[in-house]
Every structure is written in C-alpha cells, then in structure tokens.
Amino acid sequence: MVVLKTGRELKIMREACRISAGALKTAGMAVEPGVTTAQLDKLAEDYIRSQGGEPNFKNYEGYPATACISINNEVIHGIPSKQRKLQAGDIVSIDLGAKFEGYHGDNAATFACGDVSPEAKRLMDTTRESLYEGIAAAVSGGRIGDIGNAVQRYVEARGYSVVRQFVGHGIGTHLHEAPEVPNFGTAGRGIRLLPGMTLAIEPMVNAGGSDVKVLPDGWTVLTRDGSLSAHFEHTVVITADGPKIMTLL
C-alpha cells in the first residue's frame, strides 16, 4: 500500500532527510587517500547521533553499519571496514540514512578519491544527472514508469547501463515502503504519482553491462563484468507544485 504523507508528517520527515544529507556531506568531505571506510562510517554515525537521529541502516535485516560504502566495481551495500583504505583514483559510493521521530531519510552519492580517470568522472556525472532526470519526471498525475524511463533513457544514451536487480522505493515510517521505483521502464506505466508520495529515487549505473553479483559476505553487490559503478540517491516528495528534494541541508 502506498501511504500519502500529511503536511505534519512531511515536516518531521524533512528533518530526518536534513540529517541524512548532513551525514552524507560529512562522510563525503572526508574521502581521501588513506582513509578507511570504517572511519567514514564513524563520521556519519557520530553526525547523525549529534543531530538527535539514529542510523537507520544499522541492524536493518542484520546490516552491521551506518553507511554502505562501495568502491569502484562495487555497486551498493559495501560493508565499512578498518582494513579497507581508500586509494587515489577510487570512486566511492556512500549510501546512508537517518531516522528522526519515527520518519526516515535516505540518500547516496559517489565521490572521487583524489584524481580519478576521465571515464570515472563521466560515469559519476551521468549518474548524478540521471537522478535529476528521474526526479524531474516525478510529477503528480504521472506514473511510476515515467521516472525509470527518464533515468534509463538518459543513461543508455551515454553508453552505460542501469542496474535492474535493485530499485528505489517508497519511504516514510519505514525505510522501504511501496512502491518500488525501478531505474528502467516504460513511460505511462505503473501506479499513478500523487501529492504526498515520498520516494527514494536511486539510479545505480554501470560503465559496462547491467548484470551484478553478490559477494559471499551476503551484502556487497559487484558488477558482474568488473566495470565501474556509481550511485546517487535523493528522498523526494511529490507535490502539486512538482517534485521537491527532501535530502538537502
């Protein structure tokens, strides 16, 4: 069931999203060669708690950390580790969220560690831009397929592919709510978009093929062909005046 949020709910949720955005910025600004992914995770967790929030990924289906940190050919759900040091040239996807007074925020971005290749930069730019294409398509009266179609067209026109095994989602009093928000699809198909719907739109884009595999740790998702992958996500609310991004500072 898709839950439409009231103005009162959206006000609280905006705080959860503001905290999520601050934590992502804090961790992202610390990305540099030699830093461990566990250090980034701690910065994010400390920030969320300092703002009165709680890390909402921690213990979600047994997930052990605040953030998912996925490097280069890792797509999503990389587990932070004291053993994993960032290297110059890495692209580092950080995905995290906060719960505040019962409501969730969720956001992600891919950061460059030092100087990265022009190919890596183009992949990151395309993925970020595809998120904004998807957001622009999230208008009241449209359909869920409009979002995925906008993302997919933008990505594929640039020679990349969208991941299909993982999708965006509704968000609110739960981290994951209906509806699913695929990053591919047919415009005009799927459920109708209405004011008060809150969606986490999150394109995962591979430089090569769309196929992925999961490591034996049960979490880390990699590109099957070893190509680079990037991930950007915002929590968005659909209003009568168009989509509004909630995960902003």
- Residues in contact with ligand MF3 by CB under 6 A are 57, 60-61, 63, 68, 77, 95, 106, 169, 200, 202, 233
Q: How far is the CB of 202 from ligand MF3 (least distance, A)?
A: 5
Residue 57 interacts with which of ligand MF3, Co ion, none, CB < 5 to 8 Å by class: ligand MF3
Paired sense of beta strands 177-181 and 198-201, if any: unpaired
* C-alpha–C-alpha distance, residues 71 and 94, integer Å: 9
User: Which does residue 90 touch among Co ion, ligand MF3, none (CB within 5 to 8 A, set by kind)?
Assistant: none
Q: Closest approach of Cβ 88 to ligand MF3, in Å? A: 26
Closest distance of CB 76 from ligand MF3, Å: 7
Q: Which three-class secondary structure state does DSSP give residue 164?
A: coil
Cα–Cα distance for residue pair 8/178, rounded to 1 Å: 20
Q: How far is the CB of 117 from ligand MF3 (least distance, A)?
A: 26
Whole-number Å distance between alpha carbons of 53 and 98: 6
Report the residue number, 143 or 231, with the smaller CB distance to ligand MF3: 231
Closest C-alpha to 95, from 82, 81, 79: 79
Cβ distance to ligand MF3 smaller for residue 18 or 169 = 169
Task: State CA 17 to chain mean position distance.
Answer: 12
Considering the complex, state which of residue 96 and residue 139 has its C-beta at the smaller distance from ligand MF3: 96
- Other Cβ atoms within 10 Å of 97 Cβ, number: 33
Q: Which is nearer to ligand MF3, 99 or 157 (CB)?
A: 99
